[in-house]
A = this chain, B = another copy of it.
Amino acid sequence: MTTTQVTLVQIDNYGPWTVTPEPRREMDLQSLQSRLFADIAEFLGHRDGYAFFTRFDNMIAVTNGVDGDAHATLQESIGNRYPVTVSLGTAVGERPIDALEAANGRLQTEGSAQDEGRTEVLAGEYLTETNPGDVQIAHFDVVNVTGKYTDRLNEFDTFIDIERAYASLMRHLRREHGALSFFVGGDNVIAVCPDMPESAFADAVDHVVADVDVELQVGVGRGASAHEAGFAAKHALEDCRHAGTAVELFGAPAASD
Protein backbone atom coordinates (compact mmCIF):
# COMPACT_ATOMS: atom_id res chain seq x y z
CA MET A 1 0.00 0.00 0.00
CA THR A 2 1.32 3.44 -0.89
CA THR A 3 1.50 6.37 1.50
CA THR A 4 2.12 9.57 -0.43
CA GLN A 5 2.81 12.92 1.19
CA VAL A 6 1.77 15.72 -1.15
CA THR A 7 2.47 19.44 -0.79
CA LEU A 8 0.65 22.17 -2.67
CA VAL A 9 2.78 25.27 -3.20
CA GLN A 10 0.63 28.30 -4.00
CA ILE A 11 1.96 31.77 -4.77
CA ASP A 12 -0.06 34.17 -2.63
CA ASN A 13 -2.34 36.57 -4.47
CA TYR A 14 -0.24 36.20 -7.61
CA GLY A 15 -2.75 37.10 -10.33
CA PRO A 16 -3.45 40.60 -9.01
CA TRP A 17 0.29 41.16 -8.42
CA THR A 18 1.07 40.45 -12.07
CA VAL A 19 -1.12 43.34 -13.24
CA THR A 20 -0.49 45.87 -10.44
CA PRO A 21 -0.15 48.76 -10.94
CA GLU A 22 -0.23 47.75 -14.60
CA PRO A 23 0.64 44.52 -16.41
CA ARG A 24 4.24 43.48 -15.82
CA ARG A 25 6.46 42.41 -18.72
CA GLU A 26 5.63 38.81 -19.62
CA MET A 27 9.24 37.64 -19.86
CA ASP A 28 9.98 38.98 -16.37
CA LEU A 29 7.05 36.90 -15.12
CA GLN A 30 8.26 33.85 -17.02
CA SER A 31 11.74 34.24 -15.61
CA LEU A 32 10.43 34.78 -12.09
CA GLN A 33 8.14 31.75 -12.24
CA SER A 34 10.67 29.36 -13.67
CA ARG A 35 13.41 30.40 -11.26
CA LEU A 36 11.04 30.03 -8.34
CA PHE A 37 10.17 26.55 -9.56
CA ALA A 38 13.86 25.74 -10.04
CA ASP A 39 14.62 26.74 -6.46
CA ILE A 40 11.77 24.62 -5.12
CA ALA A 41 12.78 21.66 -7.30
CA GLU A 42 16.32 21.88 -5.96
CA PHE A 43 15.29 22.34 -2.36
CA LEU A 44 12.92 19.38 -2.38
CA GLY A 45 15.05 17.33 -4.78
CA HIS A 46 18.00 17.50 -2.42
CA ARG A 47 15.70 16.00 0.22
CA ASP A 48 14.59 13.25 -2.19
CA GLY A 49 11.28 14.92 -2.98
CA TYR A 50 9.86 15.77 -6.41
CA ALA A 51 8.28 19.08 -7.42
CA PHE A 52 6.27 19.68 -10.59
CA PHE A 53 5.67 23.08 -12.16
CA THR A 54 2.04 22.38 -13.04
CA ARG A 55 0.59 25.91 -13.47
CA PHE A 56 3.65 27.65 -11.90
CA ASP A 57 1.42 29.76 -9.65
CA ASN A 58 0.34 26.47 -8.11
CA MET A 59 2.91 23.68 -7.96
CA ILE A 60 2.43 20.14 -6.71
CA ALA A 61 5.17 18.26 -4.88
CA VAL A 62 5.69 14.78 -3.45
CA THR A 63 7.42 15.32 -0.13
CA ASN A 64 7.71 12.00 1.72
CA GLY A 65 10.58 12.43 4.17
CA VAL A 66 10.45 16.23 4.18
CA ASP A 67 9.25 17.45 7.58
CA GLY A 68 7.45 20.57 8.75
CA ASP A 69 10.66 22.39 9.67
CA ALA A 70 11.99 21.98 6.14
CA HIS A 71 8.72 23.30 4.73
CA ALA A 72 9.01 26.33 7.03
CA THR A 73 12.59 26.91 5.89
CA LEU A 74 11.54 26.79 2.24
CA GLN A 75 8.72 29.25 2.83
CA GLU A 76 10.94 31.68 4.72
CA SER A 77 13.70 31.49 2.13
CA ILE A 78 11.32 32.28 -0.74
CA GLY A 79 9.88 35.20 1.21
CA ASN A 80 13.40 36.56 1.65
CA ARG A 81 14.45 36.27 -1.98
CA TYR A 82 11.38 36.89 -4.13
CA PRO A 83 8.88 39.70 -4.53
CA VAL A 84 6.11 37.18 -3.83
CA THR A 85 5.38 34.77 -0.98
CA VAL A 86 4.02 31.22 -0.98
CA SER A 87 1.56 29.19 1.07
CA LEU A 88 2.21 25.50 1.65
CA GLY A 89 -0.44 22.87 2.39
CA THR A 90 0.64 19.30 3.05
CA ALA A 91 -1.27 16.08 3.59
CA VAL A 92 -0.86 12.32 3.43
CA GLY A 93 -3.00 9.75 1.66
CA GLU A 94 -2.95 6.31 0.15
CA ARG A 95 -4.00 7.72 -3.22
CA PRO A 96 -2.06 10.76 -4.42
CA ILE A 97 -5.24 12.59 -5.46
CA ASP A 98 -6.66 12.22 -1.95
CA ALA A 99 -3.48 13.55 -0.39
CA LEU A 100 -3.57 16.53 -2.75
CA GLU A 101 -7.25 17.13 -2.07
CA ALA A 102 -6.57 17.29 1.66
CA ALA A 103 -3.44 19.42 1.23
CA ASN A 104 -5.37 21.80 -0.99
CA GLY A 105 -8.26 21.99 1.45
CA ARG A 106 -5.92 23.21 4.17
CA LEU A 107 -5.21 26.30 2.11
CA GLN A 108 -8.75 26.80 0.83
CA THR A 109 -10.18 26.88 4.35
CA GLU A 110 -7.80 29.69 5.19
CA GLY A 111 -9.17 31.90 2.41
CA SER A 112 -9.01 32.56 -1.29
CA ALA A 113 -5.78 32.32 -3.29
CA GLN A 114 -6.45 35.98 -4.10
CA ASP A 115 -7.19 37.09 -0.56
CA GLU A 116 -4.60 39.76 0.29
CA GLY A 117 -4.73 38.86 3.95
CA ARG A 118 -4.09 35.16 3.41
CA THR A 119 -0.34 34.90 3.00
CA GLU A 120 2.33 32.41 3.99
CA VAL A 121 -0.08 29.78 5.28
CA LEU A 122 1.88 26.78 6.51
CA ALA A 123 -0.54 23.98 7.25
CA GLY A 124 -0.05 20.31 7.15
CA GLU A 125 0.55 16.89 8.53
CA TYR A 126 3.91 15.28 7.84
CA LEU A 127 4.93 11.64 7.92
CA THR A 128 7.18 10.89 10.85
CA GLU A 129 8.77 7.92 9.13
CA THR A 130 9.31 6.58 5.64
CA ASN A 131 8.97 3.02 4.40
CA PRO A 132 10.45 1.33 1.33
CA GLY A 133 7.19 0.93 -0.53
CA ASP A 134 5.54 4.24 0.28
CA VAL A 135 5.88 5.90 -3.11
CA GLN A 136 5.22 4.49 -6.55
CA ILE A 137 6.35 6.41 -9.61
CA ALA A 138 5.78 5.58 -13.27
CA HIS A 139 8.01 7.31 -15.82
CA PHE A 140 6.54 7.33 -19.34
CA ASP A 141 8.05 8.46 -22.58
CA VAL A 142 7.27 8.26 -26.29
CA VAL A 143 8.78 5.39 -28.27
CA ASN A 144 11.39 6.79 -30.69
CA VAL A 145 10.30 10.39 -30.30
CA THR A 146 13.35 11.82 -32.05
CA GLY A 147 13.01 9.66 -35.13
CA LYS A 148 9.22 9.90 -35.40
CA TYR A 149 8.66 13.49 -34.30
CA THR A 150 11.54 15.85 -33.43
CA ASP A 151 13.60 15.22 -36.56
CA ARG A 152 10.59 15.05 -38.89
CA LEU A 153 7.83 17.44 -37.83
CA ASN A 154 8.07 21.07 -36.87
CA GLU A 155 8.36 21.56 -33.14
CA PHE A 156 4.86 22.87 -32.65
CA ASP A 157 3.19 19.93 -34.33
CA THR A 158 5.40 17.59 -32.31
CA PHE A 159 4.36 19.47 -29.20
CA ILE A 160 0.68 19.11 -30.08
CA ASP A 161 1.07 15.35 -30.29
CA ILE A 162 3.02 15.13 -27.04
CA GLU A 163 0.42 17.30 -25.34
CA ARG A 164 -2.38 15.13 -26.63
CA ALA A 165 -0.69 12.01 -25.32
CA TYR A 166 -0.13 13.70 -21.98
CA ALA A 167 -3.71 14.92 -21.75
CA SER A 168 -5.04 11.47 -22.55
CA LEU A 169 -2.76 9.79 -20.04
CA MET A 170 -3.31 12.27 -17.23
CA ARG A 171 -7.09 11.97 -17.44
CA HIS A 172 -7.02 8.18 -17.67
CA LEU A 173 -4.75 7.73 -14.65
CA ARG A 174 -6.62 10.37 -12.65
CA ARG A 175 -10.03 8.84 -13.29
CA GLU A 176 -9.10 5.18 -13.00
CA HIS A 177 -6.53 5.30 -10.22
CA GLY A 178 -6.34 8.70 -8.56
CA ALA A 179 -2.78 9.08 -9.88
CA LEU A 180 -1.21 12.47 -10.61
CA SER A 181 0.68 12.75 -13.91
CA PHE A 182 3.00 15.59 -14.86
CA PHE A 183 4.71 16.53 -18.10
CA VAL A 184 8.35 17.16 -17.24
CA GLY A 185 9.75 18.21 -20.61
CA GLY A 186 10.86 16.47 -23.81
CA ASP A 187 8.57 13.47 -24.19
CA ASN A 188 8.52 12.56 -20.50
CA VAL A 189 5.57 12.19 -18.16
CA ILE A 190 6.00 11.25 -14.52
CA ALA A 191 2.99 9.76 -12.76
CA VAL A 192 2.72 9.55 -8.99
CA CYS A 193 0.64 6.43 -8.44
CA PRO A 194 -1.16 4.46 -5.78
CA ASP A 195 -0.80 0.68 -5.74
CA MET A 196 -1.52 -0.49 -9.25
CA PRO A 197 -1.13 -3.91 -10.78
CA GLU A 198 1.29 -4.32 -13.64
CA SER A 199 -1.58 -4.72 -16.06
CA ALA A 200 -2.84 -1.25 -15.20
CA PHE A 201 0.28 0.30 -16.73
CA ALA A 202 -0.11 -1.73 -19.88
CA ASP A 203 -3.74 -0.63 -19.98
CA ALA A 204 -2.67 2.99 -19.73
CA VAL A 205 -0.26 2.57 -22.65
CA ASP A 206 -3.02 0.88 -24.64
CA HIS A 207 -5.48 3.60 -23.78
CA VAL A 208 -3.25 6.35 -25.11
CA VAL A 209 -2.45 4.60 -28.37
CA ALA A 210 -6.13 3.93 -28.95
CA ASP A 211 -7.15 7.44 -27.93
CA VAL A 212 -4.57 9.61 -29.68
CA ASP A 213 -2.31 7.22 -31.59
CA VAL A 214 0.89 7.95 -29.67
CA GLU A 215 2.96 4.98 -28.53
CA LEU A 216 4.31 5.17 -24.99
CA GLN A 217 6.56 3.00 -22.88
CA VAL A 218 6.79 3.07 -19.10
CA GLY A 219 9.18 2.17 -16.31
CA VAL A 220 7.77 1.76 -12.83
CA GLY A 221 9.64 2.09 -9.53
CA ARG A 222 8.92 2.00 -5.85
CA GLY A 223 10.75 3.55 -2.94
CA ALA A 224 10.65 5.35 0.37
CA SER A 225 10.76 8.71 -1.39
CA ALA A 226 9.87 10.24 -4.72
CA HIS A 227 13.52 10.18 -5.73
CA GLU A 228 14.00 6.53 -4.83
CA ALA A 229 10.85 5.47 -6.63
CA GLY A 230 11.53 7.78 -9.57
CA PHE A 231 15.12 6.67 -9.94
CA ALA A 232 14.04 3.04 -10.04
CA ALA A 233 11.45 4.02 -12.63
CA LYS A 234 14.09 5.69 -14.78
CA HIS A 235 16.22 2.56 -14.69
CA ALA A 236 13.19 0.46 -15.60
CA LEU A 237 12.47 2.80 -18.51
CA GLU A 238 16.05 2.31 -19.70
CA ASP A 239 15.22 -1.40 -19.71
CA CYS A 240 12.21 -0.72 -21.96
CA ARG A 241 14.47 1.17 -24.36
CA HIS A 242 16.96 -1.66 -24.54
CA ALA A 243 14.51 -4.54 -24.57
CA GLY A 244 11.85 -2.92 -26.72
CA THR A 245 9.19 -3.65 -24.13
CA ALA A 246 6.30 -1.34 -23.28
CA VAL A 247 6.26 -1.81 -19.51
CA GLU A 248 9.03 -2.61 -17.06
CA LEU A 249 8.69 -2.86 -13.32
CA PHE A 250 11.87 -2.28 -11.44
CA GLY A 251 13.42 -5.61 -10.52
CA ALA A 252 11.49 -7.80 -12.88
CA PRO A 253 10.61 -7.31 -16.52
CA ALA A 254 6.88 -7.12 -17.18
CA ALA A 255 5.19 -8.68 -20.14
CA SER A 256 3.62 -6.03 -22.29
CA ASP A 257 0.20 -6.86 -23.54
A residues whose Cβ falls under 8 Å from a Cβ of B: 8, 10, 14-15, 19, 22-35, 37-39, 41-46, 49-51, 53-58, 60, 70, 73-74, 76-77, 80-83, 97, 100-101, 104-105, 108, 112-114, 145-147, 150-152, 154-160, 162-164, 166-167, 170-171, 174, 180, 184-187, 190, 227, 230-231, 234-235, 238
Given contacts A56-B185, A185-B33, A234-B23, contact A154 B77 (CB under 8 A): no
Chain B residue nearest to A163 (CB atoms) is B167
Chain B residue nearest to A99 (CB atoms) is B154
A29 to chain B, nearest CB (A): 7
Q: Are A97 and B180 in contact (CB under 8 A)?
A: no
Residues of B within 8 A of A83 (CB): 80-83
What are 17 sample pairs from A and B whose C-beta atoms fall under 8 A apart?
A10-B155, A23-B235, A28-B81, A29-B184, A30-B45, A31-B41, A31-B45, A35-B81, A38-B38, A46-B74, A55-B158, A55-B162, A58-B155, A82-B83, A105-B154, A156-B180, A157-B174
Chain B residue nearest to A96 (CB atoms) is B156
Known: A28-B76, A160-B171. 16 other contacts (CB 8 A): A15-B146, A27-B42, A28-B80, A29-B184, A30-B41, A30-B45, A30-B185, A31-B39, A33-B185, A42-B43, A43-B46, A56-B186, A58-B158, A97-B156, A105-B154, A108-B151
